């Protein structure tokens, strides 16, 4: 199967409330970058009383645009998909202005403990001050006037990543787990490839008709797109194994070849993605290294390990 057909045709309309479905508006933050595409998408769900999904960074212009889009409507809930600083910090300011309840899977945490001497490269990108008023479990639901949202736990990009299903519509707010414009970053120790792949499998068991992601435009054929994402990740895993078989022992050497056509600004994230694959391969006994997998380790195929 071919990899996903990414869609880069997206007009962000920064600061404007754009209708994207019945009773759903999107307001995109003006925070473009190599990891955020044209900016973070905030969604307003409902008509008379509403939920806000992923309020975004603590940005004055975005706060003003969001309050203008709300136009005096009651905000009952603020749903946060995960605790990266481009998604969650404005929740506190929005709560202070509206009295809404903040809901999420939980505070920020890593997918695994740090190894001795290891630093978290995404520590500054994480909103360590975030604490929800209500922690939602898998299947947890919040309701408003004419709408309800159900939490679908999708760890991988972060340990606390959640998507939100708009019940009765076939719409899933997929946040950073599945996006039309690019693959999600899976960067240890915040994220884990095994979790990410399991979350893709979970989504394939659903029958959603439309994903509204955290960056970029909608995913209009979710099943086919998620299957292509799964194939893409398996292809990356094969590429890692091929580089080791060809004699590469270090992650930077693998990245130079595997991501030769990728923007060099993303090579640091690419190295973390390769590390995520290697952690999974070591766990499954196909690759070995001295000590725990790290960005600076030497990697070898395990004899007889189906490498």
Q: Is 176 left (phi over 0), alpha (psi -120 to 50) or beta?
A: alpha
Neighbours of 43 (CB within 10 A): 24
Peptide bond into 265 cis (omega under 30): no
pLDDT tens track, the chain, 307 positions: 457 999 999 999 999 999 999 999 999 999 999 899 999 999 999 999 999 999 999 999 999 999 999 999 999 999 999 999 999 999 999 999 999 999 999 999 999 999 988 888 888 899 999 999 999 999 999 999 999 999 999 999 999 999 999 999 999 999 999 999 999 999 999 999 999 999 999 999 999 999 999 999 999 999 999 999 999 999 999 999 999 999 999 999 999 999 998 888 889 989 999 999 999 999 999 999 999 999 999 999 999 776 5
**Coil vs helix vs strand at 266:** helix
What residues have CB less than 8 Å from 238, skipping those under 6 apart?
none
Q: So what's the pLDDT on residue 306?
A: 61
Sort 247 into a burial class: Cβ within 10 Å, 0-12 / 13-18 / 19+: exposed
Taking alpha carbons only, the member of 182, 215, 173 closest to residue 29 is: 215
**How is residue 154 written in tokens?**
């999708």
Distance, CA of 68 to CA of 66 (rounded, Å): 5
**How is residue 30 written in tokens?**
């003006």
Taking alpha carbons only, the member of 105, 19, 15 closest to residue 68 is: 15
Distance, CA of 281 to CA of 288 (rounded, Å): 8
**How is residue 202 written in tokens?**
């979970």
Q: Is 160 left (phi over 0), alpha (psi -120 to 50) or beta?
A: alpha
**Coil vs helix vs strand at 70:** helix
Q: So what's the pLDDT on residue 121?
A: 84
The DSSP element (H or E) to which 41 belongs, if any, is strand 41-46
How far out from the chain centre does Cα 46 lie?
Answer: 24
């Amino acid at each position: 199967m071919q990899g996903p057909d990414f869609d880069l045709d997206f007009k962000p309309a920064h600061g404007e409330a754009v209708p994207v479905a019945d009773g759903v508006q999107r307001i995109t933050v003006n925070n473009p970058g190599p990891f955020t595409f044209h900016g973070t998408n905030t969604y307003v769900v409902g008509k008379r009383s509403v939920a806000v999904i992923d309020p975004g960074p603590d940005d004055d212009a975005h706060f003003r645009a969001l309050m203008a889009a709300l136009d005096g409507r009651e905000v009952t809930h603020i749903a946060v998909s995960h605790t990266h600083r481009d998604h969650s910090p404005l929740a506190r300011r929005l709560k202070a202005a509206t009295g809404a309840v903040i809901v999420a899977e939980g505070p920020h945490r890593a997918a695994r403990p740090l190894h001795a001497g290891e630093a978290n490269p995404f520590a500054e990108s994480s909103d360590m001050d975030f604490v929800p008023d209500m922690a939602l479990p898998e299947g947890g639901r919040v309701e408003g006037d004419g709408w309800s949202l159900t939490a679908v736990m999708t760890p991988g990009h972060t340990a606390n990543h959640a998507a939100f299903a708009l019940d009765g519509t076939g719409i899933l707010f997929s946040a950073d787990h599945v996006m039309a414009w690019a693959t999600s970053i899976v960067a240890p120790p915040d994220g884990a490839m095994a979790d990410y792949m399991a979350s893709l499998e979970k989504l394939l068991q659903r029958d959603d008709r439309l994903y509204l992601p955290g960056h970029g435009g909608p995913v209009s054929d979710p099943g086919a797109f998620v299957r292509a994402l799964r194939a893409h990740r398996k292809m990356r895993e094969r590429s890692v194994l091929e580089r080791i078989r060809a004699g590469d022992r270090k992650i930077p050497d693998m990245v130079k070849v595997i991501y030769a056509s990728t923007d060099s600004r993303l090579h640091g994230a690419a190295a973390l993605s390769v590390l995520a694959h290697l952690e999974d391969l070591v766990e499954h006994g196909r690759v070995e290294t001295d000590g725990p997998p790290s960005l600076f380790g030497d990697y070898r195929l395990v004899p007889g390990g189906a490498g």
